Structures are given as structure tokens and as C-alpha cells.
Structure 1
Amino acid sequence: MNLDPTDLKILQLLQADGRISNQDLAERVFLSPSSCLRRVRALEESGVISHYRAVLDTNVLGLEVDAFVQVTMRRDVEQWHENFSKALLSWPEVVGSYIITGDANYLLRVRARNLKHYSAFVLERLYKTTGVLDIRSNIVLQTLKESTELAGELLRE
């Protein structure tokens, strides 16, 4: 989909505030409300906007541990990828999972209430999953930048 400057501005504003009213959005991008709504619907229908969500404050919710975990699998175990992928879908502690390049096979982002909860997750679930050879944990000490917003510069050619 070709995005013009108005589409990019709409996306920027919606990323910053997904609850902005169509009226306010239209005013900010200098369109009529009906024209603005048509553009937003076109962005949704094309898949550029995949969904809307609330961003929760994990500290307020008491989730003290944020960890990135590299998982290396034993390749001699039959269907290791399928089995691991299926298992991680049932783990609420895993909030992100990625197949990566390098020495490990997967990178997981894990959230836990505290170190005891994280330790139980690693020992009772992760290490007990068939095919897991090694894990390397990196506990986040401080978050410097975290965003799901894509800057307009990234979206232009």
C-alpha cells in the first residue's frame, strides 16, 4: 500500500493515542471526519493497522522481573521446533517469542512476578521441555527505550 503524508500522520497519531476520536483525528490531519474515517478504515482493511490495544504498566501490576532468554535446542530430538512452539503458547510468562540467528534457536521475553516465580518457570517448564539443551537468561535491570510505535521515517521510501 502506498502511504501518503496524510496516511503517515494518521498512523503517527493513532500510535500515540489509539483512543483519539475520529473528529479530533480529522482536525489534526486537516480532513473532514468522513474522509478521515475512510482513510482509517482503508488502513485497517489493508492490514497496515492490525489491531488496537491498551499498554499496561507492568510495575503497577507487580511484575518485577523482565528477562530475555535465549533457548538452544537439541537437534537430534524429533520435531523439536514443533514441540517447543506448541509448549510456549501455553506459558503466560512468555510475552514475546522469536526465532533468531546465532548460537541459540529462540529468544523469549519473559515476565514474572518476582525472581522466585521466574526461577520456577525456568526450572519447572522451560528446562523440562523436551529438546531444550541450554538457556541463557538476561534480566533487565532498567529499560531505556521501549516502544511499539514506528517512526514515520521508517515508513517512507
Structure 2
Amino acid sequence: MQLDPTDLKILALLQADGRISNQDLAEKVFLSASSCLRRVRMLEESGVISHYRAVLDPNVIGLEVDAFVQVTMRRDVEHWHENFTAAILSWPEVVGTYIITGDANYLLRVRARNLKHYSSFVLERLYKTTGVLDIRSNIVLQMLKDSNDIAAELLLDGQ
């Protein structure tokens, strides 16, 4: 789908405030409310906008530990990828999972109430998963930037 500058402005505004009213959005992009609504629906139907969500503050809800965990698997274990994938999907502590390049197979983002909870997760679940060979944890000390926003400028660079 080819996005024009108006589409990109709509996307940037929705990323900043997913609860903005259609009327306010239309005014900010200089469209009529009906035209703006048509564009938003087109962006949703085409999959450019995949869903809307509330962003929670982990510290406010009691999740003090944020960790990135590299997991290396034993390749001699049959169905290691399928088994590991099934396991991580059932663990609420794992909030992000990525297949990566380099020495490890996976990078997990793990949230836990405290260090004891995190330790229990690693020792009782992660290490006990069939095929896990090595685990390397990096505890986040301070977050400088955390965003899923795709900047309109990035999209415009390709045009």
C-alpha cells in the first residue's frame, strides 16, 4: 500500500493518541470528518493499523524487573524450536520473543514483580525447558527509550 503524507500524519497522530476523536483527527490533518474516517478505516482494513491497545506502566502495576534474556538451544534435541515456542507462549512473564542472529537462538523480554520472581522464572521454567543449553540475562537498570511508534519521517525517507 502506498501511503501519502496525509496517511502518515494520521498514523503519527494515532500513535501519539489512539483515543483521539475522529473530529479532532480530521481537523489536525485538514480533512472532513467523513474523509478522515474513510482513510482510517482503509488503513485498518489494509493491515497498516493492526490493532489498538492501552499501554500500561509496568512500575505502577508492580513489575519492577525488566530483563532481556538470550537463550541458546541444543540442536540435537528433536523439535527443539516447536517445544520452546509452545513453552514461551504459556509464560506471562515473557512479553517479547525474537529469533535472532548471533550466538543465541532467541532473545526474550521478561517482566517480573521482583528479582525473586525473575529468579524463580529462570530456574523453574526456563532452565527446565527441554533443549535449553545456555541462558544469558541482561537486567535493565534504566530505560532511555521504549517505543513501538514508527516515525512518519522514517516512512517518508523511502519515498
Q: How does 1:60-79 map to 2 (within 5 A)?
A: 60-79=60-79
Identify the residue that residue 114 of structure 1 maps to in structure 2.
114
Q: TM-score, normalised by structure 1?
A: 0.99
Match of 2:30 in 1: 30
> What count of residue pairs does the alignment treat as equivalent?
157
SS in 1 for 2:66: strand
Please list, as runs of the form range in 1=range in 2, the aligned pairs for 1:84-99 lying within 5 A after superposition.
84-99=84-99
Consecutive unaligned residues in structure 1, runs of 5 or more: none
CA distance in structure 1 between the aligned counterparts of 2:51 and 2:92, rounded to whole angstroms: 20
In 2: Cα distance, 1:114 partner to 1:70 partner: 19
Structure 1 residue ranges (4+ consecutive) displaced by more than 6 angstroms after TM superposition: none
Give the secondary structure class of the aligned counterpart of 2:111: strand
TM-score (norm 2): 0.98
- Give the % identical residues: 87
Equivalent AA in structure 1 for residue 95 of structure 2: V
Which residue number in structure 1 is paired with residue 155 of structure 2?
155
Cα distance, 1:155 vs structure 2: 1.1
Report the alpha carbon displacement of residue 154 of structure 1 after superposing the two structures with TM. 1.4
SS at match of 1:123: helix
Q: Is there any run of 5+ residues in structure 2 with no aligned partner, and where?
A: none
Deviation at 1:153, TM superposition (A): 1.6
Instruction: Provide the C-alpha distance between the structure 2 equivalents of 1:5 and 1:146, rounded to a whole number of angstroms.
Output: 25
Q: Name the amino acid aligned to 2:18.
A: G
Distance in 1, Cα, partners of 2:146 & 2:97: 16
Distance 1:132 1:108 in 2: 13
1:103 aligns with 2:99: no
Q: How does 1:3-82 map to 2 (within 5 A)?
A: 3-82=3-82
